[in-house]
Amino acid sequence: KILLAHGAHREGKRTDAVMEKWRGYGLGQFIHWGLYAIPGGEWNGKQYNGAAEWIRSWNGIPNATYDSLIYKFNPTAFDATAWAKSAKQMGARYVTFTTKHHDGFCMWPSKYSKYTVAASPYKKDIVKAVVDAYDKEGIDVILYFSVMDWSHPDWRYEIKTKEDSVAFERFKKFTRNQLIELLTNYPKAKGLWFDGTWDKSWVKQAAFADDLETEMRKLRPGLIIGSRFRADENGKRHFDSNGVLMGDYEQGWERKIPNKIEEVHGNDWDCVMTVPENQWGYNKAWNGHIKSANELLEMTAKCVSLGGNFVLNFGPQGDGAIRQEELNLATKIGDWMKLNQEAIYNCGYAGYEKQDWGYFTKKTGSDQVYMVVFNVPVSGALRLKMPAKTKISKAYMLADREEKILPEEINSNEYFLKLKKKDHQEPFVIVLETGKNA
């Protein structure tokens, strides 16, 4: 093992109650909202071909012109309670909200910056409104924070000169001040979701970032911080030089999902996912491949079946309203979750062999196993392979417990489950009651 002063401080999963709850969330919501929602991926009638929340980096817009959007920020349709109720209906159990994205605009009245909601026509504290509204709905809040801050004069991508170094020291103090401010102003927040930590300037700050993480955890015991916050002294990110996860869960699953359990290395993790292929902030153009509710439900089940959580992103418009297409998805997902949430919440990896019909999930701390079915063969029967000596004593539809399914044993641990209905237009869950040699 390599001796590290700033590597991971813990090996293996956290076992405290806060993290146990995080582990069982199953489904979450991400919200990307800021000044970038005003242009919505378009400027002077020209479509920006990147992610809408990155439009400030487009050389088609002078930085000062983008930053003057602050004077247009007055989201008259913003209603945090409506957002929180929509998230509750969808079945989200946590929300990750952008306090400051790469453009540096603060959605809270930070006393360390002039580039905040306080200086906009809207004036009010949006982070507070979101934290309070979601907390009231019983949805835990995680605060997204981008270390990279394009608008700050002391931000550097790389430290090349003495001047860079002096400036970046000021930037580090500014970053620490804002993070302590967020934890102090919004004590209900359960965690911090860091982004914008990949540039050389920050990767070189192993000692500073390590001390800052320690300070934040001391200020807020139980705080949840992912693997993206800091690098070790060798510049290793997410996993330190000994291959040990940095932080409390793996944060690398951005717009991608693992395919097998080995890929998650026994760690906690969540996947954050966009509805369009790669748009986090609001984009006027709702085009390219837009994921359907069934696709998103499959992603949710796949994540839970591999011990993770699925976090679906919403990009509210510049006026604060969530676009109807996203509200419709939330409703469809919520309707399914109402009937089937038992197979998602507080569930994880069952340890069974993956099969074509869909995903196994298992209730944490129990033997209860679920089949979340996405693919019914033309035969209308599901071939089910169980671990050796694991018998099925009972099988029934979760959404209608009276609908029993008679498992026909075809081998010592292989069954045919004949379904009453063949053509399913959405996924369904079969509850399996098993028992060793039942």
Ligand X SMILES: C[C@@H]1N[C@@H](C#Cc2ccccc2)[C@H](O)[C@@H]1O
Report the interface residues with ligand X, using CB under 6 A. 32, 51, 53-54, 195, 254, 272, 280
Task: Decide: residue 21, CB within 10 A, 0-12 exposed, 13-18 middle, 19+ buried.
Answer: middle
Tokens of 408: 């026909």
Q: Using CA atoms, how far apart are residues 7 and 169, in angstroms rounded to an integer?
A: 22
Q: Using CA atoms, how far apart are residues 195 and 189, in angstroms rounded to an integer?
A: 17
CB of 134 to ligand X, least distance (A): 18
Tokens of 436: 């060793």
Q: Using CA atoms, how far apart are residues 422 and 286, in angstroms rounded to an integer?
A: 34
* Nearer CB in complex with ligand X: 281/320: 281
* Nearer CB in complex with ligand X: 32/220: 32
CB of 75 to ligand X, least distance (A): 19
* Nearer CB in complex with ligand X: 241/300: 300
CB of 198 to ligand X, least distance (A): 7
* Nearer CB in complex with ligand X: 158/400: 158
Tokens of 137: 């709905």
CB of 51 to ligand X, least distance (A): 5
* Nearer CB in complex with ligand X: 195/250: 195
Q: Which residue is nearest to ligand X (CB)?
A: 280
CB of 394 to ligand X, least distance (A): 42
CB of 16 to ligand X, least distance (A): 26
Contact (CB, 8 A) for 6 and 207: yes
CB of 249 to ligand X, least distance (A): 15
* Nearer CB in complex with ligand X: 158/414: 158
Contact (CB, 8 A) for 352 and 387: yes
Q: What is the DSSP track for 216-283?
A: HHHHSTT-EE-TTS-B-TT--BSB-TTSPBSSSSEEEEES---SSGGGGTT--EEEEE-SSSS--S--
- β-bridge partners, 46: 43
* Nearer CB in complex with ligand X: 47/278: 278
Amino acid at 261: I
